[in-house]
Amino acid sequence: MLYNNHMPLSLEQKALQEQPLPSKIFLQGQAGTGKTTAGTLWLKKLLDSGIPAHEILIVIPQRTLAQPYLECLRDETVLAHSLVTTLTLGGLARRMVDLFWPLVSREIGVAKPNLPPQFLTLETAQYYMSYIVRPLIEKEGYFESLIINRNRIYSQILDNINKAAIVGFDYTEIGDRLKASWVGDIEQFHIYDDVQSCVNRFRNFCLENNLLDFSLQVEVFIKHLWSSPLCHNYLVRSYRHLIVDNLEEDTPVCHDILREWLPDFDSALLIFDQGAGYRFFLGADIASGYSLRKECDSIFQFEENLVNEPCITHLKSGLEHAILSLQGGSRKGIRIPYDAIKDSIQSPEENPKYFPVMVHWVANQVANLITAGTPPGEIVVLAPFMPDVLRFYLSNQFDELGIPHQSHRPSRSLRDEPTTQTLLTLATVAFQDWEMLPKRINLAFALMQVIEGLDLVRAQLLTAYVYDARSGEFPLKTFEVVPGEIRDRVTYQVGKRYDHLRDWLESNAPQNTNRLDFFLNHLFGEVLSQPGYGFHNNLDSGNTIANLIESIQKFRWAIGPQLPAEMFTIGREYVQMVQDGIIAAQYVHEWERQDSNSVLISPAYTFLINNQPVDYQFWLDIGSPSWYQRLNQPLTQPYVLSRNWVEGDLWDSEDELAHAHETLRRLTLGLLHRCRKKVFIGMSELDVRGFENRGLLIRLIQHVLQSAKRQSR
The predicted-structure confidence for 244-263, as pLDDT tens digits, reads as follows 999 999 999 999 999 999 99
- E strand or H helix at 343, and its extent? helix 338-344
Asked whether the CA dihedral 346, 348, 351, 357 is positive or negative, the reply is: negative
DSSP conformation letters of 301-315: EE---SS--HHHHHH
Strand 405-407 and strand 211-212: the pairing is: unpaired
- Asked if the domains 11-95+228-302 and 310-412+593-712 are classified in one and the same CATH topology, the answer is yes
Strand pairing of 118-119 and 599-603?
unpaired
Cβ atoms of residues 137 and 147 within 8 Å:
no
At residue 146, what is the residue type? L
Specify the 3-state DSSP secondary structure of 656.
helix
What does the pLDDT read at residue 688? 63
For the chain, residues with pLDDT lower than 70 are 1-7, 75-82, 327-334, 409-416, 510-514, 559-568, 583-595, 687-691, 711-713
- Neighbouring-strand partners of residue 381: 601, 618
Q: Tell me if 659 sits within 8 A of 323, measured CB to CB.
A: no
Closest by CA position to 159, among listed 191, 198, 132: 198
With a CB cutoff of 8 Å and minimum separation 6, the contacts of 335 are 711
Residues linked to residue 681 through DSSP beta bridges, in sequence order:
619
Residue 476, pLDDT score = 93
Q: How far apart are the two ends of the chain, measured CA to CA in Å?
A: 39
Beta bridge partners of 405: 599
**pLDDT at 591 (0 to 100):** 47
Hey, where are the domains in the chain? 11-95+228-302, 118-214, 310-412+593-712, 414-580
11-95+228-302 maps to CATH 3.40.50.300 = yes
* Phi, then psi, of 433 in degrees rounded to 5: -70, -10
Is residue 108 within 8 A of residue 224, CB to CB? The reply is: yes
- Mutual angle of helices 516-523 and 492-508, in 10-degree steps: 150
Estimate the crossing angle of helix 570-579 against helix 516-523, to 10 degrees.
70
698: left (phi over 0), alpha (psi -120 to 50) or beta: alpha
Query: What is the Cα–Cα distance from 22 to 43, expressed in whole angstroms?
Result: 13
Q: Quick check: 245 and 1 in contact, CB under 8 A?
A: no
pLDDT of residue 707: 78
Task: Please give the model's pTM, rounded to 2 decimal places.
Answer: 0.85
Check whether domain 310-412+593-712 has CATH 3.40.50.300, yes or no: yes
pLDDT score recorded for residue 292: 97
Q: What single-letter amino acid sits at 81? A: H
pLDDT of residue 562: 47
